[in-house]
Structures are given as C-alpha cells and as structure tokens.
Structure 1
Amino acid sequence: MTQRLQGRTALVTGSTSNIGRAIAQALAAEGAHVIVSGRDQRRGDAVVRDIRAAGGVVDLVRADLDGTPEASHALAAAAADVLGGRIDVLVNNAGIYRSAPTLADTDSASFDRLFAVNVKAPYFLTQAVAPRMVADGGGVVVNLGSWVARLAGPTGGAYAATKAAVESLTRSWAAELGPRGVRVNAVSPGVIRPPDLDPSIGFSENMTVGTPAGAPGHPDAIAAAVVYLASDDARFVHGTVLDVDGGRTGVAVVAA
C-alpha cells in the first residue's frame, strides 16, 4: 500500500460488514487509525481482529445510530476520545434498507425509520464532527449515496429519497465547510454483492444486465473510491458524487 493516510484518524460508521468493513480495512491499510463502529459487537470484534492481523491500527466503538442527535453526538465524542481528540476522516456509511415495494405499502413507521437512520444520523454526526475538524485545521467527510438516488425504479422510493437527500447534503456541506478546510464528497455505489453472502441465498443480478461492467461489484471497489476521496490525491475535489456503479447511471442499459 502507498500509506496515503499515514498518521491520520478515521471514523467509519456501519463498518462491521460488507461495504463498511471493506472501507475500514482499506483506510487502515493506507495507514489510518480507524474506528470501526456498528451495532453488532461480535461482528465488530471480528473486523478489528482482521485489521490488526494485517498490521492495521483499529479500535471498535459500538453505536446504534437511531437518528437522534444524542446517539450521533455520543459516537463522535467516544471516537474522538479513543483517537486522542482528533477525527481527520468521517465516513458516513451506516444505513438501512426497507424494501417497502410500493407507495401504498410504505407505512409511517418504516418511512420515519429510513430517514432517521439514513439521513438524520449522518446529519447530526457530521454536525458533531465537522467543528472538531475545523478547529484542527481541516478534515474530510465522505458520504455513501446510491445509484437509486438518480436512476429511479418503481419500488423502494422511500429508500431512494434518503440517498438523494444524502447526496444533496454532500453538496450543501461542501459549500458550507469547504472554505473552512473540510472537504465533503460522496461515493454512489451500484449493485454490490456481499463477498460473504451465503450461496444458498438468492441474489438478483439482473440490475447489472447491459451495463459496461455486466456484473455486480465488490465492496473493495467502493473502498478504493473512499480512500481516494479521503486522501490528498483528491485535495481539489469538493461536493462531488463519485459513481462507482459499473456504468449503471451513466450509460444506457440495454434490455436483455
């Protein structure tokens, strides 16, 4: 590895599995002291063991980001304590998906839960972390969007709306925080297949038919994009949503 993040600190939410885990592993491999965070202690401990076994510096701070300012602010404070007071990189990855297939099938509780976890939680976490970054002379925020924020389908509209909100906040925060030394960008993943998905569990790959990639992506592709945006290689990148989706949103999809 190039050690592009040597000496820096990073907090990655929702990093006990899948994309978040890959991001935490990649940041640690580039030299960052990483805070792994999520709800599941057992899975978090496993990620920490793997990163340490690879020579990385990592700690676990368990958190359940329910959308309340208290939960987000508590995580920011706990992570900063472990990291010696400084958070250089914040990756807002934690999120939930509720299929709620149609408008008629979406109840109020599911709608509120989606927006609480996917929008309010990163909003208030960034609210807590950004002033620390400004005071320390700068930092980086990377949000996780989704291809469904801009390429609509007939189902999952509430989830898509949460990711559209996150991508909009990315641009707003870039305008607000960029002049104060904090770069804010986002990565928009396409269809990603969890590498540890049980083969007996069905996984639809039809959404990638006709794309240039022609298949689902691996979490490592998203992690590589986050590392780039977190590093000085992206020092002139502000308010950008980087599509890492196999061409899904940028290229016409040919029907099978």
Structure 2
Amino acid sequence: MTDAPASTTTRTALVTGASSGIGEAIARELAAAGVFVAVHGRNAERTTAVAASIEEQGGRAVPLVVDLSAGPAEVRAFATAATEQLGGHVDVLVNNAGVYPGGPTESLSDDTVDALLATNIRAPHVLVAALAPSMASRGSGVVVNIGSWMARVGVPFMALYPATKAAVEQLTRAWAAEYGHRGIRVVTVAPGATATPGNADSADVLAAMTAGTPAGRPVQPVDIARAVRWVVSDEATFVTGGTIDVDGGIASTRMR
C-alpha cells in the first residue's frame, strides 16, 4: 500500500455506499489487504452486518450510517465521525455511493434530480473538501471516485445519471491537479454494466447488454474491488488524474 504516516501502523479507508454491491466488495477487498475500513451505508442493519462480517473474517471495520443526500453540514459531520472512528486519519477515500434513477427527461421529478446531484456530485465534493487537507498535511492520500462507462456514451432515458458521472471524471482531473503536489493521488475507476443486488431483477437485460463485449458478461463487483485495491497500492503510485475502465470493453468496442 502507499506509505502511511510514520506515527501509524495501519492504513485506513472510508468507503461510501459499502453496505452492498460494488462498495461492499471494495470494503472487503481493502480489509483483506490489511486496511482498517469504515463501511458506510444508509441502511443500519446491512451496514452493520457487512462490518461485522469483515471483522469475523479477520479484518478491521467499523459501520457508519448516514444519508449522503442530506445537507453539506451532515456530510461534513460524517467525515469527522469517520476520521474519529478510524483512529484520527483517513488515508483512502472511496467515493462509491451513488443513486441511478432513470426515465424520460421530461418526467424526472425535481426530488429525483436533487437526489442525483446531492449524492453523486455534492457528497464527494464535500468529503474531499473535508478530508483532503488532513491527507495533504501528512503528505499522503488516495481518493478513488467510482465512475461509470455511461459517462462517455449517450444512453436514452438515462441523461442525468451519466452526466453526474462525467462530472466525477472532471472532478478527478481537477483534484489530481489541485492536490497532487501535496501527495494526494486521485483516480476514477469506471465500472461497466455490473451485476449487483440492486439490479438482480435485470439479469437478462445485463446479459444482453454485455453479450457483444469482449468480456461477454456483466462486470462483477469483485472486478471493480480488485482494481481499487491496486489503485491505492504502491504499485500505482504514478497513476493519478485519469480514469481506469473496468467494463469488459463495453465503452470502447462493439463486437456484434
């Protein structure tokens, strides 16, 4: 992993949206690599269960429950609580939490628009603003933003969600430039069509979407988690400011 502060022996990570799916896989993968993980979720029961399971398997984890679509003050308080629970420092921030409602543009409700912007863009921005200064003071830190293959293609009836992920890619570029000279790396990991508990009822749709890709199947959460584990490791110390696609080729190829 990247160099930790001299005064600590264990690296720490805050993973948002880690009570299931991609975020859970990331939390488990990082914990298996020896990282002390704060598991965030909106559902207390699921979030606590993931953290407890990681502990039972020999890792270190604490659950943190908050709705990231709440106001900025609540998100800042969450960042403070995560720092305290992780022993006073957050070495890795994984901005994974996101909402992805779709539908015709003209019928997307104002509340849905607000939730998309608050969760997918504002919350990562507030968390980086709250946590990056401390990382910079230690001269070390990694921010991983979870993007999407949809950020660079046009998808009917799904305009705003991909736009939020395109914004995430731009935030990655800007934050890498802003914080790089202070020891912080910032990278986007962009999943393709991924099979998660949240879209289990769309398994046939995912299979059809990915049948013509080089991989020929949907992405699994562990595929994303392994990429994140590498991104935050010493092996990736010269990787910053860009997007790593873990999508089976869906965004760049069309085989049939």
* TM-score class normalised by the smaller sequence: over 0.9
Distance in 2 of aligned mates of 1:112 and 1:131: 27
Structure 1 partner of 2:50: 47
Distance in 2 of aligned mates of 1:186 and 1:134: 19
1:14 aligned to which of 11, 17, 34: 17
Structure 1 partner of 2:133: 131
Task: Normalising by structure 1, report the TM-score.
Answer: 0.93
Distance in 2 of aligned mates of 1:240 and 1:228: 14
Distance in 2 of aligned mates of 1:207 and 1:172: 32
1:69 aligned to which of 72, 76, 81: 72
1:56 aligned to which of 47, 56, 59: 59
SS of residue paired to 2:41: coil
Task: Normalising by structure 2, report the TM-score.
Answer: 0.93
Structure 2 partner of 1:95: 98
SS of residue paired to 2:38: strand
Structure 1 partner of 2:219: 217
Q: CA deviation at 1:49?
A: 1.8
Distance in 1 of aligned mates of 2:198 and 2:129: 34
Q: CA deviation at 1:109?
A: 2.2
CA change 1:130–1:4 in 2 (3 A) is: closer
Structure 2 partner of 1:238: 240
CA deviations 1:151-209 (Å, max 9, x no partner) are 221121011111110111000000001111100001000011126976xx342122112
Structure 2 gap segments, 5+ residues each: none
CA deviations 1:228-255 (Å, max 9, x no partner) are 111111100011110000001122242x
Distance in 1 of aligned mates of 2:93 and 2:179: 13
CA deviations 1:64-93 (Å, max 9, x no partner) are 111522122111100111111110000000
Distance in 1 of aligned mates of 2:2 and 2:30: 9
Q: Does 1:30 align with 2:33?
A: yes
Q: CA deviation at 1:32?
A: 0.3
Structure 1 gap segments, 5+ residues each: none
Structure 2 partner of 1:149: 151
- Name the Cα RMSD after superposition: 1.9
Distance in 2 of aligned mates of 1:252 and 1:215: 13
Distance in 1 of aligned mates of 2:70 and 2:171: 16
CA change 1:216–1:178 in 2 (3 A) is: same
Distance in 2 of aligned mates of 1:232 and 1:213: 28
2:86 partner amino acid: L
Distance in 1 of aligned mates of 2:202 and 2:139: 47
Distance in 1 of aligned mates of 2:3 and 2:135: 19
The farther-off stretch of 37-46 and 22-31 is 37-46
SS of residue paired to 1:36: strand
1:13 partner amino acid: T
1:106 aligned to which of 83, 105, 108: 108
CA deviations 1:126-166 (Å, max 9, x no partner) are 11010010112210000000000002211210111111101
Distance in 2 of aligned mates of 1:78 and 1:108: 30
Query: Superposition pairs for residues 109-124 of structure 1, below 5 Å?
Result: 109-124=111-126
Q: Percent identity?
A: 47
SS of residue paired to 1:248: coil
Indicate if the aligned counterparts of 1:28 and 1:34 stay in contact, CA closer than 8 A: yes
Structure 2 partner of 1:79: 82
Distance in 2 of aligned mates of 1:72 and 1:34: 18
